Amino acid sequence: MTTVLYIDDDAGLRRLAARTLARHGFEVTVAEGGAEGVALASARAFDLIAVDHYMPGMDGLETLQQLRALPDVPPVVYVTGSEEGRIAVAALKAGAADYVVKSIGSDFFDLLASAFAQVLERSALERDKAAVEDQLRASNARLEALLSEVNHRVANSLQIVSAMVRMQSTALDNADARLALDDTQRRIAAIAQVHRRLYTSNHVDQVDMREYLGALVEELGETWSTPTAPRMLRLAADPIRLSTDRAVSLGVIVTELVSNACKYAYPGTGSDRCGGEVRVSLVDDGDAYFRLAVEDDGIGMVADAAPRGTGVGTKLIRAMAQSLQSSVEYGSSGAGAQSGVRATLRAALG
């Protein structure tokens, strides 16, 4: 049975409310004023509370304020006079669930019982909604934790694969085979870096490209720069976030383009091998697009020339660009004989 606390200073109306509301299926407890009502609501739980406005000492609005300060307060229905619309509005703003205009006769209690039923229904819907939202939040938290763990395991597994490739490379006598395995190791590291970023950040489904490319470019710089052939790698990146698959594609493209620039832009051997700079930029290009550019100041490239290596890198760049629904375009980064190479790609963020 639904329990109701009815607060009213009119003794006759309290008795009538108790009898009439009982016929509507409510178990009614009465209080003769605000202070007694607040004390009863503090001592036991009720499903509903009805509060009259005009009461000596503590009026209905003050009573409502003190009731609302209680923990787990039930819905409150406010009772006002027939010409007190402004008071009803004030009560609703103060937290009342509904209001009923007091009138003489049984119609008032019918309206009050109807208001109780509507308030209880709304309250049940709000509880159900809150419960579903709590379940969704808990489910999302579990899924995020699971995805973070997956990314952690993938990154660790790729690190193991990379170590195996390194071990195999050091065991080979063939220089070309070692170089091919070194390229493979860099490609694995580019992908592993994506998953490492995912499990160490608050976003488990998107990669901060400025942080990711910063770490990737730093690793490539340590790989390619030597005292006899220094490589200065510079990055300028906007704060762009990409989904995991797009971040992997872009990371592989950057790895290949930077590696190509470090290997071929500045030729020479031994002490004659020259140093140089490679610049990487990633900018927001407007209309939900980004633009990637990798450029050097080296010897440039001959148009339509055959790949100077195995050609695997060129195929990878083309495949990764296609996965981004784009393509890499090549041009000169400057003028003159030492014109350099500028490779650019424009693709959608989403």
**CATH code (residue 73):** 3.40.50.2300
Judgement on whether residues 350 and 226 belong to the same structural domain of the protein: yes
In a domain, 175, yes or no: no
In a domain, 194, yes or no: no
**Rounded Cα–Cα distance for residues 278 and 295 (Å):** 6
Q: Which of 102, 118, 147 is the last residue of a domain?
A: 102
Q: Do 312 and 183 form a contact (C-beta atoms < 8 A)? A: yes
In a domain, 185, yes or no: no
In a domain, 297, yes or no: yes
Strands 342-348 and 289-296: antiparallel
In a domain, 51, yes or no: yes
Domain, as residue range, for 73: 2-102
Q: Do 209 and 247 form a contact (C-beta atoms < 8 A)? A: yes
pLDDT of residue 339: 73
> Coil, helix or strand for 171?
coil
Amino acid (1-letter code) at residue 331: G
* pLDDT tens, per residue, the chain with 350 residues: 899 999 999 898 888 888 888 888 899 999 999 999 999 999 999 999 999 998 988 999 999 999 999 998 999 999 987 666 788 888 889 899 998 888 766 688 888 888 888 888 888 888 888 888 888 888 887 877 777 787 778 888 888 888 888 888 888 888 888 888 888 888 888 888 888 777 667 776 788 999 999 989 998 888 888 777 788 999 999 999 999 889 999 999 999 999 988 888 887 644 445 668 899 999 999 889 999 999 998 888 766 666 666 678 889 999 999 999 999 999 888 755 557 899 999 999 97
In a domain, 282, yes or no: yes
Q: Which two tokens stand for residue 166?
A: 């390194």
Judgement on whether residues 96 and 211 belong to the same structural domain of the protein: no
Overall pTM > 0.85: no
Q: Which of 102, 131, 152 is the last residue of a domain?
A: 102
Q: How many CB atoms lie within 10 A of CB 335?
A: 8
Q: How many CB atoms lie within 10 A of CB 327?
A: 13
pLDDT of residue 266: 83
In a domain, 60, yes or no: yes
Judgement on whether residues 217 and 76 belong to the same structural domain of the protein: no
In a domain, 306, yes or no: yes
CATH number of the domain enclosing 228: 3.30.565.10
Judgement on whether residues 209 and 349 belong to the same structural domain of the protein: yes
Number of domains observed in the structure of the chain: 2
**From residue 59, how far is each of 7, 38, 44, 74 by CA, in Å?**
10, 12, 22, 19
pLDDT of residue 270: 47
